[in-house]
Chain A
Amino acid sequence: MFGRFTDPNDQTAQPFYALMHEPIVLYTCIVVVVLAVVVLAAITLLGWWKPLWKNWITTVDHKRIGLMYIILAIVMLVRGFADAIMMKGHQALALGDASAGFLPPDHFDQVFTAHGVIMIFFMATPLLFGLLNYILPLQLGARDVAFPFANNLGFWITFAGAILINISLGIGNFARVGWLAYAPLSDGISSPDTGMDYYLWSLQLSGIATTMGAVNFIATIIKCRAPGMAMFKMPIFAWCALVSNVIILIIYPPLTVAFALLSCDRFLGFNFFTNDGGANPMLYVNYVWIFGHPEVYVLVLPAFGIISEIVPTFSSKRLFGYTSMVWAVLVIMILSMLVWGHHFFTMGGGEQVNTFFGIATMIIAIPTGVKVFNWLFTMYKGRIRFEPPMLWAMGMMFTFVGGGLTGVLLSIVPADFQLHNTEFLVAHFHHTIIGGVVFSYLGGLAFWFPKVFGVKPNRALGIASFWFWFFGFYFAFFPIYIVGLMGETRRMQHYLEPSLQPYFIVAFFGAVLILLGILCFVIQVILAIWYLIKNKCTLPVNENDPWGDARSLEWSISSPPPVYNFAELPQVEDEDAYWDMKRRGVPRKTSGFSKIHLPSNTNAGFIGGILLLIVGFSLVWHIWWLAAIAFVGFIFTILCHSLLGNHHGYYISAEEVQKTEDQFTAVLNAKGVKA
């Protein structure tokens, strides 16, 4: 009746084993539950349920959905980083046998799996989607994304996936298979417990939502640009977003197929990736890397886009080589789908296959290098201001080229024969992900923070956060390169050579520095939320261009933007649309507005998300009746939304628009600036 919770024949499920035997798990769960209760109580006592429901849970406004994605990403960053610092702490102590350190093997294995899964799927991707959601329509001069309902639904499905993976901490266990869950380790025989099922269902949910988001963003970029904004006049961030979402479109189906086939193996006794029945686990490896390699480009290309926005703004100079940047990004998009084999040079594919993938991988370094040179030449003969976003950008450029070096080294097949799956590899991908993706996204958050909140983030904390992250990264991962060169493979729960320990201790010190960097960042976020609460969620409107010398359209409207974004859609003539408008002296329109049509809120997204969460949970625990009911409920919710939902939207009257714009005009006049 309650599936694996009560099935006497199932010895592997053990729902409460971790809570009973692992103090770390128990204390974490207690803290999380207490925090949740406190938050829910606070919301109830302050009477915030109604505004929360009306303004956030059911919203289809891309700005609010973007903020919710970012908050989800930050919460999952804390969880993912907790896993990371546990690993580093454990490894610093893990000299000896399996009982060394404080994480026994089966726990350590869950920690590194969860760390990878959370960081890629529930931290980086939601953070990316949050930034895209908030900024992309503003940069394109649009009022919202193309499909606002799908935007809302996609967020709540991602939320469901994140909750499912967090439930796995306390109830049952998580997978012990590495972040891509190679078969046959992940099949029903080698991983019979609930961990793999949590993995599969939370990632399928995340995958559906991500695909929906990609369809949404591509349609937005193609159809919703401001009049006059031809493709080659779009901001570079929008180009990078387009390419990144096209890649998502192409790679998430193979991942969905891989996980679906693995689920069939586990649930229906099929034989795709087992060791029996003619199965072939190498096919699974191919599928996940056809997804996995372009996935990192999905994350890094918008990062490049962000740097391409920050550097011109803070160098007060136009981006060097816009056209070659666009072509470079398109070339990277195509090449990134041709290189997946470099993740398994050592699987015995043969000389021809390995050479092809090795050379194809190296070729990607060419357009990537071109981009770095473009940024350098943007800085050249500019007037550089060292605000925190610019620090992040320079830190990214400095660090990412090193990560690229080790990447090209790994693409040289015989070198990879020695370095494959070692700690050197671990250091390489953290080098590119932290140096490339994380630095850029944090820089982007710092850059667009004043647009979202109307005030700049605390400068001292921003600078401190950057330097902690920067030095923390180098201390944390350069020893790991060395450990790899010393001949240690990855995912080792303990080691026997004393000479390794000093390196792991230094690495732990680096992780502590990064922790301080994250703390500074989290304090900035808390201060922002406090500012939001103090102003009862109606933030005072402030000037549009706080950094000065901004170039793209999002800086032409107030900070924070009005709900309709643009009172009148701007007419675009050139790239760097806003900079161009300023130079031509195009005045800001202050009267003669017409009413604006906006989409209505929806509750189907939230309800659908919760129902899919129940479906996922029931499938993990084999409670078939509950899964069926919840799934039928989900279909029913979508049908209800289709038939009964408000598809006609609502209007903001011309008077209201006038009033909002007048408020902004007053602010500008008080500050003596022009829009």
Chain B
Amino acid sequence: MKKIKYITGLAAVLASALLLSGCEWDLLNPAGYVAHQERTLMYICVAVMLCVVIPVMIAIIVFAIKFRATNTQSEYLPDWGNSHRVEMIMWGIPICIIIVLASLTGYYTFKLEPSRVLSATVAGDQKPLQIDAVAMDWKWLFIYPEYGVATINEIYAPVNRQVFLQISSESSINAFWVPRLGTVLYAMPQMNAKLHLIADVEGVFKGMSANYSGDGFNEMRFMWHSVPQDKFNNWILQVKNAGKPLGRAEYLDLARHPKVGDVAAKKKDAQVRYFSNVEKDLYYRIVNRCVADGRICNERLMARDAASSLWGQLCSVFDADYKFDNTTSQDGA
């Protein structure tokens, strides 16, 4: 008996130690509007569903005890296999719960769609800070187009200002994720995904790639520093001063990745680095696969293809009449 008490006590201590470190549970400790909304939704839905799940679990135990074979006191109805009343309740309760959850889902899916700009009530009316994120093997390249700087594996952003992320990838499907700010979004080659986030508090939040992309995938961690505006401006200056230039040739160099099994090289490759003088249409070229010389940008290629056949006009997402902006240089016809 004493031993049982001892073990139970130890288990309780261990359990509370584990559970009480809840301040580190990023998903339940949001630092931004989007993550906050998502957490609220999780709480509501779990609570609603527990109303059914817990009674079922209890019923299993209670029925097992009450209607065990050795209990000859309880009623025994061997042929009772149908009851309209019970059936109606059985179908009715899940239907009601799902109606509630479905309405919540519909509303919040529209509201929290990543490509939607956060409303002025939430994010104020400052122009969003744009960051173009490129997932490479195996590091993140973050380009700040307004400032012409870029970093590897480091984000600084002013607190309380909406951040508009354009997300793409160089070679594999990755996913951009800062748990405390919300919403995983896939980073895919040839695609430009749009994500709007905002940080409500200052701090340093961990970020990572949330889709496996090879054996260096673990190194794709970065830190999102949510700082006041002046600190942010200082950081931009710091990057401008310390950074190396980033043109198309340098990008192609960056894109080369260490071989399978070379663990140390991957770790080194993912260290924080700064770039200044980022070439102006580099991100456009990355998304359109025309960084290397002699390649025609996808957009031009696909629009031309769309114009050249009925299938193209029916099925292509590209508008055959799209007029190209001649200020961005594009190779080929």
Contacts and interface: CB of A to CB of B under 8 A. Distances in A.
A662 to B, nearest CB: 33
B133 to A, nearest CB: 14
Nearest to B262: A106
A227 interface: no
A374 B114 contact: no
Interface string B6-40: 00000000000111010011111000000101110
17 contacts: A98-B218, A176-B260, A185-B214, A190-B171, A278-B305, A316-B78, A358-B106, A359-B106, A366-B94, A366-B98, A373-B56, A382-B76, A384-B63, A386-B68, A401-B52, A487-B25, A489-B175
B56 A401 contact: yes
A369 B94 contact: yes
A398 B57 contact: yes
Interface in A404-428: 404-405, 408-409, 411-415, 417-422, 424
Interface string B125-164: 0000000000000000000000000000000000000000
A322 B78 contact: no
A281 interface: yes
A249 interface: no
Given A413-B108, A414-B112, A376 B190 contact: no
A405 B50 contact: yes
Given A348-B193, A398-B60, A402-B53, A503 B173 contact: no
A646 interface: no
B199 interface: no
B25 A275 contact: no
A177 B109 CA distance: 30
A419 B94 contact: no
A40 interface: no
B60 to A, nearest CB: 5
A228 interface: no
B325 interface: no
A422 B42 CA distance: 15
Which residue, of A285, A346, A394, A414, has the highest number of chain B Cβ atoms within 10 A?
Answer: A414
B95 interface: yes
A380 B18 CA distance: 38
Given A346-B183, A398-B61, A487-B27, 9 more contacts: A105-B218, A185-B173, A348-B115, A365-B97, A374-B90, A401-B56, A412-B42, A415-B38, A421-B175
A640 interface: no
A484 B208 CA distance: 13
A87 to B, nearest CB: 14
Interface stretch (A118-126, A349-357, A585-593, A623-631): A349-357
Contact-residue bracket for chain B: 35 or more
Contacts of A424: 27
Contact of A182 (B114, B173, B182): B173
**Which 10 residue pairs of A and B lie closest in terms of their CB atoms, listed nearest first?**
A487-B26, A487-B179, A105-B215, A369-B94, A413-B109, A318-B81, A417-B183, A366-B94, A489-B210, A383-B69
Contact of A106 (B35, B45, B106, B261): B261
A418 B189 contact: no
A659 to B, nearest CB: 37
A316 B68 CA distance: 11
A343 B180 CA distance: 22
A3 interface: no
Which residue, of A185, A484, A490, has the highest number of chain B Cβ atoms within 10 A?
Answer: A185
Interface string B255-297: 0000011010011000000000000000000000100000000
A178 interface: yes
Which residue, of B24, B64, B75, has the highest number of chain A Cβ atoms within 10 A?
Answer: B64
A89 B94 CA distance: 40
B74 interface: yes
Interface stretch (A44-52, A446-454, A492-500): A492-500
Contacts of B305: 278
A324 B28 CA distance: 40
Contacts of B289: 275-276
Which residue, of A178, A381, A482, A494, has the highest number of chain B Cβ atoms within 10 A?
Answer: A381
Nearest to A105: B215
B249 to A, nearest CB: 20
Contact of B182 (A189, A316, A413, A417): A417
A34 interface: no
B78 A318 contact: yes
A106 B67 CA distance: 54
B236 interface: no
Interface residues of A, number: 102
A106 B260 contact: yes
Given A184-B171, A497-B24, A412 B186 contact: no
Contacts of A366: 91, 94-95, 98
A277 to B, nearest CB: 10
A355 B105 contact: yes
A301 B185 CA distance: 32
A486 interface: yes
A579 to B, nearest CB: 10
Contacts of B109: 351, 354-355, 358, 413-414
Contacts of A62: none
B49 A405 contact: yes
Interface string B82-107: 11001100110111011001101110
B324 interface: no
A108 B78 CA distance: 53
B79 interface: yes
Nearest to B207: A487
Given A190-B172, A358-B105, A370-B90, A401 B67 contact: no
A318 B79 contact: yes
Given A185-B173, A417-B182, A487-B180, A496 B81 contact: no
A478 to B, nearest CB: 10
A276 B101 CA distance: 41
Nearest to A320: B81
Which residue, of A348, A377, A417, A482, has the highest number of chain B Cβ atoms within 10 A?
Answer: A417
Nearest to B42: A415
Contact of A362 (B28, B98, B301): B98
B57 A408 contact: no
B237 interface: no
Contacts of B68: 383-386
Contacts of B210: 346, 420-422, 489
A47 to B, nearest CB: 48
A321 B87 contact: yes
Contact of B18 (A189, A359, A421, A502): A502
Contacts of A97: 267
Contacts of A386: 64, 68
